Structure 1
Amino acid sequence: MAVWALAWALMTALDPQAELANLALLLVLASALCGLWLSALESLACCALAVLAFNWQFVPPRGTFSVDLRQHLWLLLTMLAVGSMVAWLTGRQRQVAEQARAAAQSAQLLHQVNEQLRQATPAEGAAFLASALRSLSQGELAWSLAHQAEAPPQAPLLHCDWGEPSAEDRALLQECQRSASPLEQGLQQGQSQVQLALPLRGATQCHGAALLRLPPGLSLSPLQRSTAQALCDQAGLQLERRQTEQRAQRSSEAAQAQQLRNTLLAAISHDYRTPLATILGAASTLRHQWGKLSPTQANALAGTIVDEVEQLSTLTDNTLQLARLDAPHARLQRDWESLEELVGSAVARARSRYPGVRMGLRIEAGLPLLRCNATLLVQLLNNLVDNAVRYAGSGPAIEIVARRLESELLLAVADRGPGIPSAQRERLFQAFERGPASPQDPQRPSQRGAGLGLALCRAIVLAHGGQITVRQRQRGGASIECRFPLETQPSAQPEALEGDLPPVPAPARPQEDTA
């Protein structure tokens, strides 16, 4: 109205000086400007009324609708045609611009919800979907999700903005989820209302439904309907992806468990058979040939039995712990432990088992406490020492190193053996992988084994959030290094916690072996 008022004021002011054709141009300009705010039909109506008013006030004879056919009729018709065309085109362009803007907003909303659903949990995804649908429709929402374990899947109601839903609401959700197609239902509650049910469709099936209750007298445009359905389809695809990931994870865990069972059976059938046969042979000889054996021979057979039993005990411990740590959702009972005491326990066991092997210790003073499972840490050290003794050949002393590295604790077992080729370092931490053989030392044990020691070491370190690596030493030999993250130290030493893996009692820290 302001545009028409301004145009009419200008035409009235210029009337005494301007010609009639020039005044008509101002009217055409006003029609074009009004098209920026009015619809196409409104612009046409305003243009027609403006031409009539122009004829009444400015075209002689003034104050009448009479028109001189020779002078003014074509002017008025041209004004009406040009003004109507300009107003129509301007109004249509404004509608097209509004539709493009609405489409861009819809695409942006779909993109935002898609980004939110990508990493969201099912509960967070439902919240994002509900928020987007409410902002799109300005209405209330109820939704239901199907239980995939049921056949056919049912859709129990999970949420309803307007309180307790009616039986018709539940039936509409069930039918929408069953048919996997949008449904509309009218309501009469004082004023006309519409509610729209939209399915949450995935690639293979419908996973539920959402029910939009629009405000009285309001309806969704076709673009808004398609956007709302696209939002629901995104949510359905996200639910289906989550279910697929869960099924894949369960299948992977089942396959890992089956592979672990097969591996353990292979280990039992292969690596347990030789020690058992040796024990059986030595025990049988002692039983049946006792009177014919000299004390030296009997002692050698008894020593063989002891060695093979220790080998079986180590193999059994490694196998059971590896199976336990590789199991899904394995949990450790951890407590604050002194690394010096754990190293001392491993050194005492090594000196008893390998009396001919020299042990060197490099333990940094004042090491912080390590939050760990003591049983597993001692088993880690025992396996690393056994591995070093087995493959070091006739090299110098085996060294155990413990020191602090900024926010980590370094625990390493090093030897001066032949070392480990770089191509084989990563494979050594896989189950049933054995390192390269070295020349046998008469004072060292046999290199046979199941290949589970280092695999268990890696599992123990990873279970504590650490890393294990193999480093080639400059003057020969290898160093297997374990790095454990340091946690905030306790203000007071806590009492030992009860658990299925209790800490092992450890002797006091041994003095460094200078031999």
Structure 2
Amino acid sequence: REHATQIVIGTRRHSFPLGLFRRSLPDALAARAAGIAIHLVTDGSAPAVKPAARRRSTLPEGWGRGVAIAAGTAAAATALGLLIEQFVVLQNISLLFLLAVLVSATYAGYVAAIAAALISVLAYNFCFIEPVGTFTVAEPHEVFALFVFLAAAMLAGGLASRVREQANTARRRAAATQALYDFSRKLSGTANAEDVLWAAVTQIHATLRRNAALLLPEDGDVRLMAAWPPDTELGLTDTMAARWAFEKKEAAGNGTGTLPNSPFQFRPLMSPHGVVGVFGFLQEDKPLEINEERALAAILDQTAIAVDRARLSREILDQAAQLEGEKFLAALLSSISHDLRTPLATITGAVTSLRQLGERMPEESRDDLLESIEEESGRLTRFVANLLDMTRIEAGTVNAKRDWVDVADVVHSAVERARKYFPGRVFETSIAPDLPLIRGDSVLLGQVIFNLLDNANRFGGDEPVSVYGRREEDEIVLSVTDLGKGIAPADLDHVFDKFFRKGKPDGRSLGTGLGLSISKGFVEAMDGRIKAESPAMKRRGTRISMRFPVAETGITEKERG
């Protein structure tokens, strides 16, 4: 169950009675742990193991233990019968020996049952049938009773041993069913192809006790992806057999008509969408039993479905990423076509008017055109800068500095810049005087605050925009609040998405939909958090707040005075 491949165990010589009636742990492991290397560490007294001699034996496995149990139970029945006869004479004392046969059959199987029946007949004849102390029978009816007892004992022993075998078979089937259930449950919660492969090879090795390997197609060929034990290697013949099984959709390798020289047998993994891989197990001219074949078939079916599901999941993710990229490209082209064309058209029209009219145009009109050129050029510059910043964020190349940053200075600089770009807007600031320094990038932080002020200018109506800064426990909180129409609750989770532009601005251009997304990327690059809230005040407006961890230096704004 635990997929062990090596067992190291200490062993020593057992005492004489214990060695007869109980099989040692090394012997039990050698009999049951097929496919696992067993290393015995002795104390010098253990006898040398002769596996070759044991393999040449034609007697059933465990016959010595069965005969010992049979002799012990028969001896116990004889002793108990002799003890009872000291007190009372029983005509059916043979039932004790029948009980000995049943006990032997239950604990050691059919061989022990036969041995117990034979030994019980001899003991019953020697100790309880006249003349006592000999193996002769004086009365004819005793001979008949003796043979009837022998037949009944062997029949009862056979039935008991068969019940025992059926119980063991049912136990093994229950264990196999439980293992398959655990395996299917493990696969149901696994979407990664690599995890599926390792789960499959370990499960197959635990079931068959043989080396297992799984190969998947790659670049027009099959390649070993997982094997258990991990040091399992495939030779050239093995690889050719695996390729044949994948291409021809039939078994190849040892035990088949195709490349039988390979010690492995390879079988294709068939799914509803075709062959998804190849499974191989070490056969070496030892065919699988019927129960092993059934378990293997069930495991391979589940593995094929799981591998196919993992492949389909990967394809779905690739397609989703491709669709997201196409969506991003379409939004980018749409934004570029609108946000580039508008300022370029304004600049082109103003320049054309100035060139054609020249001195004939009133000075006031020329100033208006020049101001329009300046505003649209600034707008175009900000748009291109936003595209470059978003490209850096998407590529993961935003490397924020870890300098000491005075938040108050950055906020004042960003507000002054916003007042220059948006002269018709009133900006109010309220910064606590004792704000400590933070670790960050003053350039990125200033760009974030300007982007938030730009967003508030577009959607904040005619009310002032407020900028607050304060300390809350171990964090610096900066917030930008407007009193516009606010954001619908359903849109709060999407305001930081790329190209999200929903709602109508207050008589101003709609924007590119990149400002808040860029702000989120810059804030997270400085280990901060950003959040949007709406309504902000008086059931209207929007507040976007940022939180940054405090970098304690012992110097406050008031002390820097």
Question: Would the TM-score normalized by the shorter structure come out above 0.5?
Answer: yes
Secondary structure at the counterpart of residue 95 of structure 1: helix
Q: Do 1:43 and 1:84's aligned partners in 2 also have CA atoms closer than 8 Å? A: yes
1:230–1:335 distance in 2 versus 1, CA, 3 Å: farther
Rounded to whole Å, the distance in 2 between the matches of 1:409 and 1:320 is 28
Deviations 1:95-147 (A, max 9, x none): 233223323433444455556664586556555555445544455x3635233
Residues 62-73 of structure 1 aligned to structure 2 (within 5 Å): 62=132, 63-64=134-135, 66=137, 68=139, 70=141, 73=144
Rounded to whole Å, the distance in 1 between the matches of 2:195 and 2:490 is 46
Cα offset for 1:299? 0.3
Q: Do 1:55 and 1:76's aligned partners in 2 also have CA atoms closer than 8 Å? A: no
Cα offset for 1:385? 0.3
Counterpart residue number, 1:499:
none
Cα offset for 1:350? 0.8
1:404–1:110 distance in 2 versus 1, CA, 3 Å: farther
1:411 aligns with 2:411: no
Secondary structure at the counterpart of residue 532 of structure 2: strand
Residues 153-168 of structure 1 aligned to structure 2 (within 5 Å): 153-156=221-224, 165-168=234-237
Cα offset for 1:353? 1.3
Secondary structure at the counterpart of residue 285 of structure 1: helix
Rounded to whole Å, the distance in 2 between the matches of 1:425 and 1:120 is 32
Pick aligned residue for 1:332 from 395, 398, 401:
398
RMSD of aligned Cα (Å): 4.0
Cα offset for 1:14? 2.9
Counterpart residue number, 1:33:
103
1:246–1:121 distance in 2 versus 1, CA, 3 Å: closer
Secondary structure at the counterpart of residue 484 of structure 2: coil
Pick aligned residue for 1:474 from 514, 528, 537:
537
Residues 16-415 of structure 1 aligned to structure 2 (within 5 Å): 17-19=87-89, 21-40=91-110, 42-44=112-114, 46-51=116-121, 53-62=123-132, 63-64=134-135, 66=137, 68=139, 70=141, 73=144, 77=148, 79-80=149-150, 82-113=152-183, 118-119=189-190, 126-139=197-210, 141=211, 143=213, 145-150=215-220, 153-156=221-224, 165-178=234-247, 185=254, 195-199=263-267, 201=269, 203=271, 204-212=274-282, 221-228=289-296, 230-231=298-299, 234-322=302-390, 325=393, 327=394, 330-337=396-403, 338=405, 340=407, 341-364=409-432, 365-371=434-440, 376-396=444-464, 398-406=465-473, 409-415=476-482
Secondary structure at the counterpart of residue 222 of structure 2: coil
Cα offset for 1:91? 1.9
1:183–1:106 distance in 2 versus 1, CA, 3 Å: farther
Answer with 263-272 or 462-471: which moved more: 462-471
Q: Which structure exhibits the higher relative contact order, with contacts defined as CA atoms closer than 8 Å and separated by 6 or more residues? A: 1
Counterpart residue number, 1:454:
516
1:65–1:145 distance in 2 versus 1, CA, 3 Å: same
Q: Do 1:432 and 1:452's aligned partners in 2 also have CA atoms closer than 8 Å? A: yes
1:176–1:361 distance in 2 versus 1, CA, 3 Å: same
Q: Do 1:176 and 1:197's aligned partners in 2 also have CA atoms closer than 8 Å? A: no
Give the % identical residues. 23
The alignment of Structure 1 onto Structure 2 pairs a total of residues equal to 469
Q: Which amino acid aligns with 2:369?
A: L
- Runs of 5+ in structure 1 lacking a partner? 187-192, 441-445, 492-508, 510-515
Q: Which amino acid aligns with 1:333?
A: N
Rounded to whole Å, the distance in 2 between the matches of 1:37 and 1:218 is 29
Answer with 228-237 or 33-42: which moved more: 228-237
Answer with 222-231 or 285-294: which moved more: 222-231
Q: Do 1:417 and 1:477's aligned partners in 2 also have CA atoms closer than 8 Å? A: yes
Q: Which amino acid aligns with 2:529?
A: G
Counterpart residue number, 1:502:
none
Rounded to whole Å, the distance in 1 between the matches of 2:552 and 2:306 is 43
Rounded to whole Å, the distance in 2 between the matches of 1:405 and 1:233 is 58
Q: Do 2:110 and 2:157's aligned partners in 1 also have CA atoms closer than 8 Å? A: yes
1:9 aligns with 2:79: yes
- Runs of 5+ in structure 2 lacking a partner? 1-68, 256-260
Secondary structure at the counterpart of residue 324 of structure 2: helix
Cα offset for 1:262? 1.3
Rounded to whole Å, the distance in 1 between the matches of 2:319 and 2:192 is 21
1:332–1:429 distance in 2 versus 1, CA, 3 Å: closer
TM-score between the two structures when normalised by the length of structure 1:
0.75
Rounded to whole Å, the distance in 1 between the matches of 2:162 and 2:549 is 69
Counterpart residue number, 1:500:
none
TM-score between the two structures when normalised by the length of structure 2:
0.70
Secondary structure at the counterpart of residue 469 of structure 2: strand
Q: Which amino acid aligns with 1:401?
A: Y
Cα offset for 1:309? 2.1
Answer with 473-482 or 264-273: which moved more: 473-482
